């Protein structure tokens, strides 16, 4: 299914049921999947996947406009679809970094300054993409923190969001005291406003200033609570253990 070349995609989305919507999103996620995650290098380039990214953004905007009118069952399905969109948009913009490997190296005290400098350089070279990744990661975290999503992919989406935010905060920690006017919450602004506010610090509900050691510790605490709520999937226990070990390593910092 080449959804991105279908001029009537929005009407198809509106008319199809829950399973149909998941098929559409799965196809779009595959088209926007970062190239470094594929063994087959004959995959879509960033430019080739741009139409799919745009469609995901439009679907997300449509769902957020309509969610106020959703009934309970529709709201649960809409939440899953929203999380899928946010996860895809987060992943497709991210600079190529193996988040789990970085977290494990932090846990085992193998993450030194030269390593961090190399990763930070990669993120700075694609600063706009990195900030966009953080925007969608923060929104995904907030979505899953306040939901009872039961889809099997939710634990891995949540882990990626937490590790993305943690790594960004680790790379760009700022020891300067922040002010309320210099904080911006990605959950209350549009993506265009977010991109224009690249000079401002990141505020998240319950976490305050992300770009600080206190903020990172609060992020991991909130992330652990959110992961505990996804206990019906066994893999969440593995992710929970990873987050707790990461939290312990930050506590010792």
Positions in the chain whose pLDDT score sits under 70: 1-9, 35-48, 67-73, 175-181, 199, 253
Cα–Cα distance, 150 to 230 (Å, whole number): 7
Same structural domain for residues 87 and 101?
no
What pLDDT, on the 0 to 100 scale, is given for residue 44? 45
Domain edge (last residue) among 60, 93, 126: 93
Cα–Cα distance, 51 to 40 (Å, whole number): 21
Same structural domain for residues 111 and 83?
no
Domain span at 42: 1-93
Q: Which ranges constitute the DSSP H helices of the chain?
A: 9-15, 18-32, 50-66, 72-93, 99-107, 113-125, 127-145, 154-171, 191-196, 213-228, 235-251
Same structural domain for residues 214 and 147?
yes
Same structural domain for residues 105 and 72?
no
Domain edge (last residue) among 66, 93, 120: 93
Same structural domain for residues 137 and 218?
yes
Same structural domain for residues 50 and 15?
yes
Same structural domain for residues 101 and 113?
yes
> Measuring CA to CA, which residue among 153, 110, 140, 149 is closest to residue 223?
140
Domain count, the chain: 2
> Measuring CA to CA, which residue among 163, 51, 44, 151 is closest to residue 97?
163
Same structural domain for residues 140 and 242?
yes
What pLDDT, on the 0 to 100 scale, is given for residue 86? 95
- pLDDT digits over 83-113, tens only? 999 999 999 988 878 888 999 999 988 888 8
What's the pTM? Answer: 0.88
Written as six digits, the tokens of 131 are 């900030």
Same structural domain for residues 23 and 116?
no
Contact 43, 35 (CB under 8 A): yes
Domain edge (last residue) among 71, 93, 115: 93
């Amino acid at each position: 299914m080449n959804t991105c070349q279908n001029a009537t995609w929005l009407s198809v989305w509106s008319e199809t049921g829950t399973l149909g919507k998941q098929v559409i999103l799965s196809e779009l996620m595959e088209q926007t999947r970062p190239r470094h995650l594929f063994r087959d290098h004959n995959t879509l380039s960033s430019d080739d996947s741009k139409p799919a990214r745009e469609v995901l953004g439009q679907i997300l905007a449509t769902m957020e406009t309509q969610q106020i009118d959703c009934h309970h069952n529709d709201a649960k399905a809409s939440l899953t679809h929203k999380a899928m969109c946010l996860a895809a948009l987060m992943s497709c913009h991210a600079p190529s970094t193996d988040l789990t490997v970085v977290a494990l190296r932090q846990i085992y005290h193998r993450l030194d300054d030269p390593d961090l400098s190399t990763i930070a350089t990669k993120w700075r070279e694609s600063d706009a993409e990195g900030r966009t990744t953080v925007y969608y990661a923060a929104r995904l975290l907030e979505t899953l923190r306040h939901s009872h999503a039961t889809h099997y992919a939710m634990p891995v989406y949540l882990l990626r969001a937490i590790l993305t935010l943690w790594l960004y905060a680790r790379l760009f920690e700022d020891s300067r005291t922040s002010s309320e006017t210099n904080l911006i919450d990605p959950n209350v602004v549009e993506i265009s406003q977010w991109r224009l506010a690249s000079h401002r610090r990141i505020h998240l509900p319950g976490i305050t200033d992300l770009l600080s050691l206190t903020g990172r510790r609060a992020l991991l605490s909130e992330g652990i609570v959110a992961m505990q709520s996804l206990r019906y999937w066994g893999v969440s226990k593995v992710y929970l253990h990873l987050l707790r070990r990461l939290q312990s390593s930050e506590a010792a910092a």
